[in-house]
Structure 1
Amino acid sequence: MTNFKTPRTIIATPNAPAAIGTYSQAVNANGTVYLSGQIGLDPKTGEMVDGIDAQIVQVFENLKAVTEAAGGSLSHIVKLNVFLTDLGNFAKVNETMAKYFSEPYPARAAVGVASLPRGAQVEADAVMVL
């Protein structure tokens, strides 16, 4: 069996919340960037922003900061996963997402979950191709 090692670069930026566990903000593997989940933490204070609307905006701002640190932009995202503690907020995610993305939109999944870290109401992760 051959042991292949994929070159990878760890992406980190102070413009998004620092990793709070055993993970990186993002990893670039041969031009495909895997972005870790972002919740509505303000990177300046480390505190959760108030309310679902503000959390959705902050999630996209955090993803935007990581994509830019990796040398791309939100338009380079090909797959987006959104996790919601209340699927009743799905329309709010769509409304806010339309302010950050334009057609053609990335592939996306939206999943209802029981809970998220730090009491977040929404989290999103993504895959970006440079």
Structure 2
Amino acid sequence: MSNEHPYPPAFRSDDLVSVSGRLGLTESGALVPGGFDAECPQAFANLDAALRSVGASRADVVKVVVYLIDIADRDRLNRVYEEFFAEPRPARTCVGVASLPYGGAVEVEALARVRDA
């Protein structure tokens, strides 16, 4: 994904990883077509990529915050969340917002703790 922003997709400090908000963008920086149903899985795929970029994985995630422009999408979010994370799933907060960058429908951020192998 194109990163023209003054912050990294993810930042690691020792065993703590913070992932900046991930939208449903393609590598070219455009929203995937198809609205929420396409953007949500793409946002989680982008979360995965950001985690990997700093040596973490979805299994390391302890907290997720999801921003939705339509809180009615929460049930569809839950389905994607259940497919993305294995049990035990991380804690999650879901917040309804007025708008998101690029006109996105969903944005996902995460906090992870990388355990030594």
Cα distance, 1:103 vs. partner?
Answer: 1.0
Distance, in Å, in 1 between the alignment partners of 2:52 and 2:11 is 13
Worse-matched range after superposition: 78-87 or 67-76:
67-76
Matched residue count: 113
The unaligned stretches of length 5 or more in structure 2 are: none
Distance, in Å, in 1 between the alignment partners of 2:43 and 2:13 is 23
Aligned residue among 111, 114, 121 for 2:95 = 111
2:100 and 2:106 in contact (8 A); partners too: yes
Distance, in Å, in 1 between the alignment partners of 2:3 and 2:78 is 26
Q: TM-score, normalised by structure 2?
A: 0.92
2:66 and 2:108 in contact (8 A); partners too: yes
Partner of 2:107: 123
The unaligned stretches of length 5 or more in structure 1 are: 1-16
Partner of 1:71: 55
Aligned residue among 7, 21, 31 for 1:48 = 31
Per-residue CA shift, 1:30-52, capped at 9, x if unaligned? 11011000001011x22101211
Higher alpha-carbon Rg: 1
Cα distance, 1:21 vs. partner?
Answer: 2.1
Q: TM-score, normalised by structure 1?
A: 0.83
Where in structure 2 are the equivalents of 1:1-130 lying within 5 Å?
A: 17-43=1-27, 45-50=28-33, 51-130=35-114
Distance, in Å, in 2 between the alignment partners of 1:68 and 1:75 is 11
Q: Describe the SS at the equivalent of 1:83.
A: strand
AA aligned to 2:30 is E
| Pairwise CA RMSD | 0.9
Structure 1 runs (4+) deviating above 3 angstroms are none
Worse-matched range after superposition: 119-128 or 21-30:
21-30
Q: Describe the SS at the equivalent of 1:80.
A: strand
Per-residue CA shift, 1:34-91, capped at 9, x if unaligned? 1000001011x22101211110010000001111122121111001000000000001
Q: Describe the SS at the equivalent of 2:21.
A: strand
